[in-house]
């Protein structure tokens, strides 16, 4: 079976680390449909390295109409995805609950949850029809145990992702479509651009391994959950935390 990976948030540090992991040594007909938003230049080296295998799309997932148009375009112009990896989110903003920004939260929920639902509603049934599929989300260790203070909006959105994963996992397991999450601890990427350095440094100091996670720590686990070998693993949230969150 020729694999087609649909990766939303593909321009993120995790996305640009995952794509070569998936394509290195893969058959020539393996295709990555890579969504970004105003930052497709980050995919240019991968487009050049894997000619014809990385197809970029510039789509604003915060706009429901544009999400729907994106889904229609994929239906018309590309092979149905065998794999769907959903990575996008607004950067964490550390703020007290009394200052909860409802407009920003609504935008983040559209990006993280609603866009994923819209895409899954179309393509996961297609995976089920052929009897194979992999769906993978990125959650956070903040949803495991006691979350840090001042992260309510982020934790709420990620918790909703967890509910979506469990629900789809149960429904589609009989059709050999797996739905899982990875849940990294604080990961040092540009996603932390709005997080004070003191918080980043404190998280590293508190981690049993003495550092924060990196995309290179997370991507191997993602690649495994996307593989054929992981066919009996579904509904799982896998902590990748260096021991800072254990289930």
Residue 55: per-residue pLDDT: 97
Average pLDDT of the chain to the nearest whole number: 93
The pair of structure tokens assigned to 171 is 């429904």
What's the pLDDT band for 40 if we cut at 50, 70, 90? very high
183 pLDDT band, cuts 50/70/90, is very high
State whether residue 55 is helix, strand or coil.
Answer: strand
pLDDT over 80 at 190, yes or no: no
**Pair of tokens at residue 126:** 């297609």
Q: What CA–CA distance (Å, rounded) separates 225 from 167?
A: 18
Residues forming beta bridges with residue 182, ordered by sequence position: 138, 238
Q: Which helix (H) or strand (E) holds 4?
A: strand 4-8
For 64-115, write each residue's pLDDT tens digit. Answer: 999 999 999 999 987 899 999 999 999 888 889 999 999 999 999 999 999 9
CA-CA distance, 117 to 71, in Å (whole number)? 11
The residues facing 7 across adjacent strands are 34, 85
Position of tokens 């590293």?
A: 204
- Of the candidates 156, 232, 223, 217, the one whose C-alpha atom is nearest the C-alpha of residue 185 is 217
Encoded tokens for 43? 């995919």
pLDDT band at 221; cut points 50, 70, 90 = very high
pLDDT at position 32: 98
Write down the pTM of the prediction.
0.95
Displacement of CA 32 from its chain's centroid (Å): 14
What is the predicted pLDDT for the residue at 44?
98
Q: Helix, strand, or coil here: 56?
A: strand
Euclidean distance between CA atoms 43 and 19, whole angstroms:
10
Residue 60 tokens read as 């604003």
**Which is higher by pLDDT, 246 or 222?**
222
**CA 41 – CA 47 distance, rounded (Å):** 10
């Amino acid at each position: 079976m020729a694999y087609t990976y649909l990766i939303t948030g593909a321009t993120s540090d995790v996305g640009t680390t995952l794509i070569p992991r998936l394509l290195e040594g893969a058959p020539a007909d393996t295709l990555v449909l890579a969504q970004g938003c105003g930052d497709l230049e980050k995919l240019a080296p991968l487009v050049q390295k894997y000619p014809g295998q990385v197809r970029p799309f510039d789509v604003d997932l915060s706009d429901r109409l544009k999400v729907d148009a994106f889904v229609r375009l994929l239906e018309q112009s590309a092979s149905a995805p065998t794999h769907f990896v959903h990575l996008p989110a607004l950067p964490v903003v550390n703020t007290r609950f009394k200052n909860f920004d409802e407009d920003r939260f609504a935008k983040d929920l559209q990006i993280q949850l609603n866009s994923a639902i819209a895409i899954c509603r179309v393509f996961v049934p297609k995976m089920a029809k052929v009897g194979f599929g992999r769906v993978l989300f990125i959650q956070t260790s903040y949803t495991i145990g006691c979350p840090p203070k001042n992260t309510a909006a982020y934790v709420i959105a990620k918790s909703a992702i967890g509910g979506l994963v469990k629900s789809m996992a149960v429904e589609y397991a009989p059709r050999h479509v797996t739905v899982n999450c990875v849940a990294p601890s604080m990961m040092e990427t540009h996603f932390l651009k709005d997080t004070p350095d003191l918080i980043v440094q404190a998280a590293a100091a508190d981690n049993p391994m003495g550092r924060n996670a990196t995309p290179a720590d997370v991507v191997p686990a993602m690649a495994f959950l996307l593989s054929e070998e992981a066919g009996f693993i579904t509904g799982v949230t896998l902590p990748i935390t260096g021991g800072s969150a254990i289930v």
